[in-house]
């Protein structure tokens, strides 16, 4: 039987960002945690032309100490823009602060301008990500890393605090390229693509006509190559297994479907100006979103679970996050 777990995006990203808004979003995170949400996701962006947000790294410290049950983590973090030592140390720190609830979500990003601002090569981001993950896993599982010499990093006598989760906190790999599938099997614990729903083909960045069946078959083949096993419908157990979740579906719930669409449009077009989630038109986003009444949203979520994902992380596309959470808690969670 397929597990049906729900993740919730608790980004602080609004029309106005101040202390009051921070406390509001943190309050939603605490309510979601108390209601039994499986995972709290915090998107990460660096140096974007979109300042109305809080940085995930310090914000996750508040999530770690203000919640008690839910897993949480960056959804996802462009670790290629950070030094591997920083990634390893923050990972271990959050895992300790939360008593073993941290999940490291990683990706290579989709905005070349971010790499320009960091003076890093956009065309080498995949290779940098691979080496970063290799270092991070060594630092989190070994007492020390001596004389690490790679293409991009040379380290000596470095270590991180011992993590609560063994052998290390789970690593979720975002992205919808074949490289992301290979990277998941080689370094990750779960493949966590975002913004894709069943039936979507030709837009996953791998090849024309690539669909979920093809993607999961490719991931399974890579798992065999690295002596691992792909498991569907449940969370992986142990380092030999690789899991699959959908790490981002846009959601807006309203008993009046037209009002749900209107609210989603205001958020995406007027507030965000189409600058998040890789850009794209509102019409394109709607094609793969779950917008409407609770029954509409539950039906779309069940389509995703049938593909083999055991967890779906939903992103409320609204300026009224409190109302959206209340509707999810009252009308969606009981159905899972």
Is 132 in contact with 109 (CB distance < 8 Å)? no
Tokens of 247: 């790490």
Give backbone dihedrals phi and psi of 314, rounded to 5 degrees, phi first.
-100, 140
Q: Cβ contacts of residue 15 below 8 Å, gap of 6+?
A: 52, 271, 319
Give the pLDDT score at 281.
78
The DSSP-derived string for 156-200 is: -SB--PPPSSSSS--EEE---SHHHHHHHHHH-SEE---S--TT-
Q: Cβ contacts of residue 3 below 8 Å, gap of 6+?
A: 233, 234, 235, 310, 311
Give the pLDDT score at 270.
83
Give the pLDDT score at 277.
64
Bridging pattern class, strands 39-42 and 148-149: unpaired
What is the domain partition of the chain in residue ranges? 1-166, 188-269+281-311
Cα 267 to Cα 15, 48, 285, 317: the distances in Å are 9, 18, 12, 6
Rounded CA separation 219/213 (Å): 10
Claim: this prediction has a pTM higher than 0.85: yes
Q: State the fold for domain 1-166.
A: TIM Barrel (3.20.20)
Q: Quick one: 264 exposed, middle or buried, by C-beta within 10 A (0-12, 13-18, 19+)?
A: buried
Is 271 in contact with 316 (CB distance < 8 Å)? no
Give the pLDDT score at 197.
53
Give the pLDDT score at 21.
86
Q: How do residues 167-183 score in pLDDT, each as one tens digit? A: 999 999 998 889 999 99
Is 260 in contact with 327 (CB distance < 8 Å)? no
Peptide bond connecting 218 to the previous residue in cis, omega within 30 degrees of 0: no
User: Which residues of the chain fall short of a pLDDT of 50?
Assistant: 201-206
Angle at 73 between CA 45 and CA 284, to 5 degrees: 55
End-to-end C-alpha distance for the chain, whole angstroms: 12
Cα 324 to Cα 42, 99, 260, 284, 293: the distances in Å are 17, 29, 10, 22, 11
Q: How do residues 277-327 score in pLDDT, each as one tens digit? A: 666 778 877 877 899 999 999 998 998 899 899 999 999 988 888 899 999
């Amino acid at each position: 039987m397929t597990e049906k777990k729900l993740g919730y995006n608790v980004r602080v990203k609004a029309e106005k960002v101040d202390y009051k808004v921070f406390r509001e979003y943190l309050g939603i995170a605490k309510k979601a945690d108390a209601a039994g949400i499986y995972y709290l996701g915090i998107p990460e962006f660096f140096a974007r032309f979109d300042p109305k947000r809080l940085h995930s790294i310090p914000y996750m410290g508040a999530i770690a100490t203000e919640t008690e049950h839910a897993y949480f983590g960056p959804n996802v973090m462009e670790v290629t823009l950070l030094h591997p030592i920083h990634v390893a140390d923050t990972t271990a720190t959050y895992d300790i602060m939360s008593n073993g609830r941290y999940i490291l979500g990683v990706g290579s990003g989709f905005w070349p301008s971010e790499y320009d601002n960091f003076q890093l090569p956009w065309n080498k981001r995949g290779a940098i990500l691979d080496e970063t993950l290799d270092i991070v896993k060594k630092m989190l599982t070994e007492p020390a890393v001596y004389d690490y010499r790679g293409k991009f990093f040379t380290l000596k006598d470095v270590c991180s605090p011992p993590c609560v989760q063994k052998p290390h906190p789970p690593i979720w790999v975002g992205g919808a390229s074949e490289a992301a599938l290979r990277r998941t099997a080689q370094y990750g614990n779960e493949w966590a693509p975002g913004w894709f729903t069943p039936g979507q083909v030709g837009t996953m960045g791998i090849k024309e006509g690539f669909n979920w069946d093809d993607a999961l078959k490719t991931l399974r083949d890579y798992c065999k190559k690295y002596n691992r096993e792909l498991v569907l419908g449940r969370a992986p157990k142990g380092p030999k297994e690789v899991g699959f979740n959908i790490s981002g579906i846009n959601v807006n719930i309203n008993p009046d479907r037209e009002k749900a669409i209107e609210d989603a449009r205001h958020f995406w077009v007027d507030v965000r100006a189409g600058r998040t989630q890789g850009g794209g038109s509102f019409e394109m986003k709607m094609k793969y979103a779950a917008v409407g009444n609770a029954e509409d949203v539950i039906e779309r979520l069940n389509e995703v679970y049938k593909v083999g994902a055991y967890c779906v992380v939903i992103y409320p596309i609204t300026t009224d996050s409190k109302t959206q959470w209340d509707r999810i808690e009252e009308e969606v969670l009981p159905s899972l």
